[in-house]
Structure 1
C-alpha cells in the first residue's frame, strides 16, 4: 500500500498491526477488570524482558500462589478460539519471562501457575470470556 505524499510502500501486515494491538490492549483491559472482580490482586501488567512478555502477573484470591496470565483476544473465530494461539513456542516464551520476573522480584521459591484468558469481542461492545486455570505447565 502506497503512503500518501511519499514513494514508500507499506506492507498490508504493518497496517494491520495497530488494529491488532488495539484488540490486544482492549482484551487485556477486559481481563484485568475480570480478574479484579474475581478477587485477584494485579501485581504487574505487560512485563517485558529478553525472553518474552507477561500480560498480567497476579495473586490469586485466598492463595499465596502467583498467577501468570496470558490474554488472547480475537474479533471473530475465523482462526479458531483465541486460546489456540498459546502454542508450545508461546508457552516457552511465557515460561522464560515468568522465571525472569520471579528472579527480579526475589521470589524464586514461590508457587506459581499459568492461566489463559480467552476473549472473543462481539458486536455492540459485548464480549465473551473464558478463564482457563492451570492452562499449561512451565515449559522449557
Structure 2
C-alpha cells in the first residue's frame, strides 16, 4: 500500500480500513465481514479474536491531518450508541455465540510520515 499525496474521501477511508484489517490480522484476529450495512448504518469491520472467542466491532477513523481531532474525539457518545445498536442487530442475525463482545476504534493517520500511523483503542464501549 502506498500513500498518495491527494485522496478522495472514499479512497482515504478504504485505505484506512485496509490498514486496520492488516493490523488486526497481524494481531491474530479473523475478519468476519467488512462494511456490513443495514438501514440504521454501517459497521466498518467485524472480527473475532479466536484466543478469547470475542467478537469485535471495529470503527475505523482515517485522517489526513489533525483538523478533526484524534481517535478519542472521533467517536462521540451518539456514535457509540449507534455502534452498539448496529452490533446488536448484527449479533441478532447470527446463529453462533461468543464469549465476549466489544467495540474497538482504530485511528489511521496518513500524510505526516512515510507510513500510516495507527492507534488501536480497545474496548471503547
The TM-score normalised by the length of structure 2 is 0.86
Name the structure with the higher helix share.
Answer: 1
Deviations 1:73-95 (A, max 9, x none): 10001221144121111111111
The superposition leaves residues 24-51 of structure 1 with CA deviations (integer Å, 9 ceiling, x where unpaired) of 1110000000100010000010001122
Matching residue of 1:40: 29
Of residues 59, 62, 69 in structure 2, which corresponds to 1:73? 62
Q: Residues 46, 83 of structure 1: CA spacing in aligned structure 2 closer, same or farther, 3 A cutoff? A: farther
Quick check: 90-99 or 38-47, which moved more?
90-99
Paired position in structure 2 for 1:13: none
Question: Could you tell me which residue of structure 2 aligns to residue 10 of structure 1?
Answer: none
1:128 counterpart = 2:117: yes
Which structure has more relative contact order (CA 8 Å, sep 6+)? It is 2
Identify the match of residue 49 of structure 1 among 38, 41, 50.
38
Aligned to 2:80: 91
**Aligned match of 1:105:** 94
Query: Quick check: 1:122–1:128 contact (8 Å CA) kept in 2?
Result: no
Q: How many residues align?
A: 119
Residue of structure 1 equivalent to 2:3: none
Q: Which runs of 5+ in 2 are unaligned?
A: 1-6
Please provide the CA RMSD for this pair: 1.8
CA, structure 1 residues 74+37, in 2 after alignment: closer, same or farther (shift >3 Å)? same
Contact 1:82 1:120 in 2 (8 A): no
* SS state at 2:122 partner: strand
Q: What SS class does the counterpart of residue 84 from structure 1 fall into?
A: helix
